[in-house]
């Protein structure tokens, strides 16, 4: 088959200054249509808003605008029905493709007026912001669902008590709901951050031209209002150069994935035979090709692993942007693919995390069996504090009780009153009441603690944050 001849540069939107042909490899290297076609709807909406505003500038008549809008609606239907035909080597990007098709439908004379005062620089910046805004709103809804599941399970399973860990060593007993709400705190803070990021994403660059602004006094406020932007980018040079909003969104996504990764790590441990606190639903596990008994927590392991992917996308884009000069440079095209993949990974991960939590089974007996009386050593020290003994002294006394139980190879709660009083005479008959896990968690009633009332307050705070209060 003969090699296809490359299109002449002069046939392109920017081709008036060029006379020679492009290297076919350069054409493929330069094209972004195969990934930025994801923005077809945003590109159409932005173009319609721009055309409508140009009726007021006198660039277009009302009749010409109606023709353009009708043409774009026809193109919209082609995209929606997957019938839009991309022409390789001609359609560099989504902007070129849509404008080319508009000219075929309504004629080039009217279609050729659309781009007056507009550059692909402000056009792509508009498309990116519109698309990312819509995607982040979807992720926001997914995160709200996740937080609602956390709150619902926390209320429903309030009576479950398990070890709380530091250094992956058993520390003190806590409610299962308290553990859930510890991550609820992380994720609700992520929700707050996301809503802040959305404010900075939702700023309009449309009407800023290539870098210097629009020469026809176009009403940028009207276009922004039509497209649902909250405010304008106030400087045209910054508007076309800015990809901070993508980087910030990816920084946010990396933080969310970091928290999902830590949450996953805990549940991976809790689902092992060594812990046995939870069991994942079959829908979110896989087996071994060799060992029939295995039930692997692949969903959680993938969530943990994809954190690194998301961070890499964010760090890669930061390194791309850090060295380019002011306004638009083609390097900025490299923001599109990692952003699209990052957003998909974060959204899918949030959905998977929600479904894993909603369907997992808890085993209260296994949680209770993991509790040991030595985890109440601090409570034993606090028993003496209530009798007026300084904590530094009671801490030492409690440590001696732990050592005594170890030396005698018995559990602390099996020590007799006489044995306890051999360590310190201030232990009274009521000291054995210390060795009660339910009582121990209920004593932690200050705000943020693991008592029932404290955890219920945490749930209330989380629900308030979800509602934006």
Which residues are catalytic, by number?
Answer: 167, 288
| Distance (Å, whole) CA 432 – CA 201 | 59
Q: Which residue has the tokens 């990816």?
A: 250
Quick check: 454 and 445 in contact, CB under 8 A? yes
Instruction: Answer yes or no: are the C-beta atoms of 6 and 89 closer than 8 Å.
Output: yes
Round to the nearest angstrom and report the end-to-end CA distance of the chain. 66
Tokens of 298: 């692949």
Phi, psi of 172 (to 5 degrees): -140, 155
Concatenated DSSP letters of 292-340:
TT--B-HHHHHHHHHHHHHHHHHHHHHHHHTT--SS--GGGGGGHHHHH
CA 161 – CA 369 distance, rounded (Å): 10
Other CB atoms within a 10 A radius of the CB of residue 91 amount to 22
Dist. CA 389–CA 426, nearest whole Å: 9
Tokens 């505003």 label which residue?
A: 53
Neighbours of 291 (CB within 10 A): 8
The span from the CA of 176 to the CA of 159, in Å, is: 8
Which ranges in 370-451 belong to alpha helices (H)?
A: 377-385, 391-408, 417-423, 437-443
Q: Quick check: helix, strand or coil at residue 242?
A: coil
- Main-chain phi, psi angles of 162, to 5 degrees: -145, 170
Mapped onto helix, strand or coil, the DSSP state of residue 63 is helix
Which DSSP state fits 116? T
């Amino acid at each position: 088959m003969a090699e296809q001849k490359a299109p002449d540069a002069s046939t392109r939107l920017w081709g008036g200054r060029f006379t020679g042909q492009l290297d076919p490899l350069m054409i493929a290297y330069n094209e972004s249509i195969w990934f930025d076609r994801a923005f077809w709807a945003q590109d159409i909406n932005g173009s319609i808003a721009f055309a409508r505003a140009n009726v007021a500038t006198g660039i277009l008549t009302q009749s010409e605008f109606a023709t353009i809008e009708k043409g774009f609606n026809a193109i919209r239907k082609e995209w929606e029905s997957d019938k839009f035909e991309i022409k390789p080597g001609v359609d560099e990007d989504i902007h070129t493709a849509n404008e080319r098709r508009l000219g075929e439908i309504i004629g080039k004379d009217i279609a050729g007026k659309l781009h007056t005062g507009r550059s692909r620089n402000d056009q792509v910046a508009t498309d990116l912001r519109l698309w990312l805004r819509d995607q982040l709103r979807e992720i926001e809804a997914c995160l709200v669902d996740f937080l609602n599941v956390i709150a619902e399970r926390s209320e429903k399973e309030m009576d479950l008590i398990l070890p709380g860990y530091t250094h992956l060593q058993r520390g003190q007993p806590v409610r299962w709901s308290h553990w859930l709400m510890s991550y609820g705190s992380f994720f609700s803070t992520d929700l707050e951050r996301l809503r802040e990021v959305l404010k900075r994403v939702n700023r309009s660059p449309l009407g800023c031209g290539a870098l210097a602004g629009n020469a026809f006094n176009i009403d940028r406020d009207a276009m922004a209002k039509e497209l649902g932007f909250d405010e304008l980018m106030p400087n045209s040079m910054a508007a076309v150069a800015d990809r901070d909003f993508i980087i910030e969104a990816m920084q946010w996504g990396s933080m969310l994935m970091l928290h999902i990764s830590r949450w996953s790590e805990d549940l991976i441990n809790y689902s092992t035979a060594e812990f046995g606190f939870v069991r994942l639903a079959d829908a979110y596990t896989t087996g071994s090709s060799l060992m029939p008994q295995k039930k692997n927590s692949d969903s959680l392991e993938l969530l943990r692993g994809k954190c690194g992917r998301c961070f890499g996308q964010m760090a890669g884009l930061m390194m791309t942007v850090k060295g380019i000069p002011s306004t638009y440079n083609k390097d900025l095209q490299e923001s599109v693919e990692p952003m699209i993949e990052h957003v998909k990974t974060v959204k899918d991960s949030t959905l998977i995390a929600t479904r894993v939590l909603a369907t997992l089974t808890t085993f209260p007996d296994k949680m209770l069996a993991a509790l040991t009386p030595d985890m109440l050593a601090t409570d034993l020290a606090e028993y003496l504090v209530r009798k007026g003994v300084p904590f530094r002294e009671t801490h030492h006394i409690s440590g001696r009780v732990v050592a005594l139980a170890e030396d005698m190879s018995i559990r602390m709660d099996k020590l007799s009153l006489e044995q306890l009083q051999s360590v310190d005479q201030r232990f009274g008959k009521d000291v054995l009441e210390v060795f009660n896990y339910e009582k121990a968690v209920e004593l932690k009633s200050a705000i943020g603690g693991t008592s029932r009332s404290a955890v219920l307050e945490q749930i209330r705070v989380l629900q308030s944050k979800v509602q934006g209060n």
